[in-house]
Structure 1
Amino acid sequence: MAELNGEPISVDQLKTLALTGYGHFTSMRVEEGRVRGLSLHLDRLVRDCKALFDAELDPERVRELARRVASTAGTCVVRVTVFDPNFDMGHPAAKADPEVLVTMRPATNLPLSPMRVQTRTYVRDLPTVKSVGLFGQLLHRRAAQLDGFGDALFVDEQSLISEGGTWNIGFFDGDRVIWPEADILVGVTMQLLKAAHEYDERPVRLADIAGMEAVFATNSAIGVRVVSGVDDIALTDDHPIIDTLRKAYMEVPADPL
């Protein structure tokens, strides 16, 4: 199901999004009509709309539009995409009139199986914005999967770890949960876990992974997913910290959409 500003969307209205890839979005896991971290999702949309379009976005209007599309029973993933159907690639500085596209897809059952990831040298153009421009992330995800891995994990030229293609990464060194200090998109699930469980934030290099007792990926669609290997480094897939973090996440109160 897909609606633009509360109405069925046409092919013509989608052309600009498809041809320019300029816009931003957030994806929310909706369970029985409720969302963990709803205010964080809405804050992200408002902030990114200002950054990309220099325009104000009404979060309550977005909430209303998302509620129209979301299933009220069961679990689904609702994506809210903000773009301007009249965006002119030749004149991107023109005054924008962004609109709200809401789509829905079935959600996968949690928890997901462990995944192995391959490190790829890549830094997104604007890491703090959840942009619809996913070319780089998908290019590296494809390359990793062709090499037999589940996904790509990004590092910079100095081997500092940042994030996955569409997820954040976290570590457990035996004492503390560690989130990498890097230029990343701070995910909603990551923020909720930071509030629910004590942690450190510091630079993490590729060479540090072998000394970690557990590694995990997070986003709103997957919750907390075990990373069982990075490149040729095998990691445990059953450390107790994973269940601790999953329990902490599941106990976060969900707000009605």
Structure 2
Amino acid sequence: MDLLNGNPVDTGSLKALALTNFGHFTSLRVDGGRAKGLSLHLDRLVRDCRTVFDAELDPARVLTYVRHAAEQQSGSFVVRVTVFDPALGVGQPGADARPHVLVTCRPVAPDQPPLRVTTTAYQRDMPEVKHVGLFGQLAVRRAAQRAGFDDVLFTDPATGVVSEGGTWNVGFVDDQDRVVWPEARVLPGVTMRLLQEAHPSVSRPLIPDDVPRMRAAFATNTTVGVRPLSAIGDTPLDAKHPVLTDLRRRYEKIPADRL
């Protein structure tokens, strides 16, 4: 069941979200009534609400709405929590905001094969915020797929450093079997944070010329966990590298929080 502030969704509010497309969200995977990094997802919503709307969001209220929506589901599914104000229009986005909470659920996608990606110079608006403005990244993802790739890996247009994927963080495995996270302006992903805590890693700036010296790479977000990259551009990568297997094992062992 999709809920707006704990009640069935009305089409007028959804129309406002569709036409104005101003807000932020988080997505979390629920398995057996539990979700990894639940407190981190709630913290993100509170933080981004201050940034986007200059308003406070009650995490306990959000969790109540999530629980209510999840009661209608079973097994494994993905919950998306979108925060927006249907009263804010294109002409007056600077008005005081009264954030509403939309909770939607969708099935978990089946396991997907490794990704073959290309690189594109692109940076999301306000990269540190998980906002609903997806046009730019979907446009470059579409261009990558039309060119025969599965997805796209961004490089900073100003500095050239590798940053993040279309809707995922990226990590690398170097020739010393260390996990290397790009040091750049990126979304601070919840799954990335959990993996950083579960597995030794380093962060440093990376450029595309560093990719051939990497042994493996992976995409990560709440829905895919750890998904190998088979190639970046013309550079093949080991999609079955032992470090990736270890990352997946460690991630699966991270305790999940009950909703």
- Shorter-chain TM-score bucket reads over 0.9
| Displacement after TM superposition at 1:113 (Å) | 1.2
- State the Cα deviation string for residues 100-126 of structure 1 (Å, max 9, x = none): 00000000234x310101111101110
Q: 2:80: which partner in 1?
A: 79
Which structure 1 residue ranges, 5 or more long, are not aligned?
Answer: none
| Displacement after TM superposition at 1:40 (Å) | 0.4
Supply the distance in 2 between the matched residues of 1:109 and 1:231 (Cα, whole angstroms): 25
1:222 aligns with 2:224: yes
Supply the distance in 1 between the matched residues of 2:41 and 2:245 (Cα, whole angstroms): 25
| Displacement after TM superposition at 1:67 (Å) | 1.2
Which structure 2 residue ranges, 5 or more long, are not aligned?
Answer: none
Supply the distance in 2 between the matched residues of 1:12 and 1:92 (Cα, whole angstroms): 18
- Partner secondary structure for residue 163 of structure 1: strand
Q: 1:116: which partner in 2?
A: 116
- Partner secondary structure for residue 116 of structure 2: strand
1:33 aligns with 2:5: no
- Partner secondary structure for residue 152 of structure 1: strand
Q: Contact 1:32–1:72 at 8 Å: present in 2 too? A: no
Supply the distance in 2 between the matched residues of 1:224 and 1:88 (Cα, whole angstroms): 38
Q: 1:51: which partner in 2?
A: 51
| Displacement after TM superposition at 1:236 (Å) | 1.2
Provide the aligned length of Structure 1 versus Structure 2. 256
Supply the distance in 1 between the matched residues of 2:113 and 2:202 (Cα, whole angstroms): 26
- State the Cα deviation string for residues 175-207 of structure 1 (Å, max 9, x = none): 211000000001000000000111110001000
Q: 1:99: which partner in 2?
A: 100
- State the Cα deviation string for residues 80-111 of structure 1 (Å, max 9, x = none): 0000010122111111001000000000234x
Q: 2:181: which partner in 1?
A: 179
**TM-score normalized by the length of structure 1:** 0.97
Q: Contact 1:33–1:72 at 8 Å: present in 2 too? A: no
Supply the distance in 2 between the matched residues of 1:201 and 1:107 (Cα, whole angstroms): 30
Supply the distance in 2 between the matched residues of 1:174 and 1:186 (Cα, whole angstroms): 25
Structure 2 letter corresponding to 1:170: G
1:240 aligns with 2:239: no
Aligned-pair identity (%): 55
Supply the distance in 2 between the matched residues of 1:238 and 1:79 (Cα, whole angstroms): 31
Q: 2:127: which partner in 1?
A: 127
- Partner secondary structure for residue 204 of structure 1: coil
Q: Contact 1:37–1:189 at 8 Å: present in 2 too? A: yes
Q: Contact 2:175–2:213 at 8 Å: present in 1 too? A: no
| Displacement after TM superposition at 1:72 (Å) | 5.4
Structure 1 letter corresponding to 2:37: G
- Partner secondary structure for residue 226 of structure 2: strand
Supply the distance in 1 between the matched residues of 2:49 and 2:102 (Cα, whole angstroms): 13
Structure 1 stretches of 4+ moved >6 Å: none
| Displacement after TM superposition at 1:237 (Å) | 1.1
- Is the deviation greater in 71-80 or in 48-57? 71-80
1:159 aligns with 2:160: yes
**TM-score normalized by the length of structure 2:** 0.97
- State the Cα deviation string for residues 2-48 of structure 1 (Å, max 9, x = none): 11011111211111110111000000000001000000000000000
